[in-house]
Amino acid sequence: MPITRRNFVRSLFVASQAALASRLMTTSLYAYDPSVGALNFAVIGDWGRRGRPDQAEVAKQMAIACKQAGAAFVVSVGDNFYEDGVASVDDSHWQQSFERVYSQPSLQVPWYVILGNHDYHGNSEAQIDYGQTHPRWIMPARHYSKVFAIDAVTNLECFFIDTSPMIAEYKDMPIMQSIHTQNVASQLKWLDESLDASKAQWKFVIGHHPIYSGGLGHGNQPEMIKLVRPILHKNDVQAYFAGHDHDLQHLRDDDLDLYVSGAGSEHRPVMKTPLAAFGESTSGFILVSVRRENMHVRYYDNLGNIIYTTTATVTSQA
């Protein structure tokens, strides 16, 4: 039965709900493992600080979560190297901020990567080139898409976009000159047409800058609201993943879930906003589990605690 429309049902599982359920069910809510039978992957952003201050802690906990879930890949939502990107494919940052920090066996999976604004401070092209000789690092272009099989009849297609060229303030920064050569109109046209043509049941878009955000570091991004948000709603995208604000958030924009995972190495204050379902000023990452008709998202802090859980369920009808 094809999925023709989406009806999102979200729930946050807390201890009181589990106690109630235990009286009504023979098994506890906590007996349910959302990773089993799902396509699992981690989302991390804003991380490359040569292991400091919380980067190594987050990496350790992400490795444990990815091992337990059998994660198939990792998504990096940009700002991969602070403060000024990398100078070349031989920059010491590669070893000190990536290879040696994320060295655990469970993290030796494909990393699907995009650029953040700090990556544009350096040689952004070098991050594309690095993947030619290091197959774990996947960034074939500044924007690209990838289809993942969930089961024999269900696919997830992820659309990785380059948001920094869309942000007006960067165009006046001498350190970010390579942004001027990027064609924003062409990228937006590609995104709209590719989403429209996609046959995947699940469609996620991944960018560095949030659309809406309660992060006090940056907050709502007007250019993303104007340029990207309409395309996502038009094409029935279920989720948008971002970083940039150094915190963990979940916001709801009608039928579009907005996930912020920008706390890979440090955290900043976050405030409650009208769209916010969750926000926490802590270092950490997200673990996503996708099945045919539902997705389960868990937020982990740098100590390995699950601090928030949400579920989105897609119902099918003829």
Tell me whether residue 192 is in a domain.
yes
Domain total in the chain: 1
Which residue in 218, 250, 267, 296 is the catalytic one? 218
Q: Tell me if 1 is assigned to some domain.
A: no
| Per-position pLDDT tens, the chain of length 318 | 344 334 433 433 333 333 333 333 333 334 579 999 999 999 999 999 999 999 999 999 999 999 999 999 999 999 999 999 999 999 999 999 999 999 999 999 999 999 999 999 999 999 999 999 999 999 999 999 999 999 999 999 999 999 999 999 998 898 998 898 999 999 999 999 999 999 999 999 999 999 999 999 999 999 999 999 999 999 999 999 999 999 999 999 999 999 999 999 999 999 999 999 999 999 999 999 999 999 999 999 999 999 999 999 874 433
What does the alpha-carbon distance between residue 294 and residue 307 come to, in Å, rounded to a whole number?
20
Determine the 3-state secondary structure of 111 from DSSP: strand
Is 208 a catalytic site residue? Answer: no
In a domain, residue 9? The reply is: no
Q: How much is the pTM?
A: 0.90
Give me the pLDDT at residue 313, please.
80
Residue 251 identity (one-letter amino acid): L
Whether the CB-CB separation of 308 and 280 falls below 8 Å is answered with yes
CATH of the domain at 21: 3.60.21.10
pLDDT at 315: 44
Domain span at residue 89 reads: 15-313
Q: Is residue 4 part of a domain?
A: no
Q: Which amino acid is at 54?
A: D
Listed in sequence order, the residues at least 6 apart from 186 whose beta carbon sits closer than 8 Å to its beta carbon are: none
10 belongs to a structural domain: no
Q: Which residues pair with 251 in a beta bridge?
A: 258, 276
pLDDT of residue 180: 86
Residue 2 lies in a domain: no
Structural domain includes residue 203: yes
**Within a domain: 109:** yes
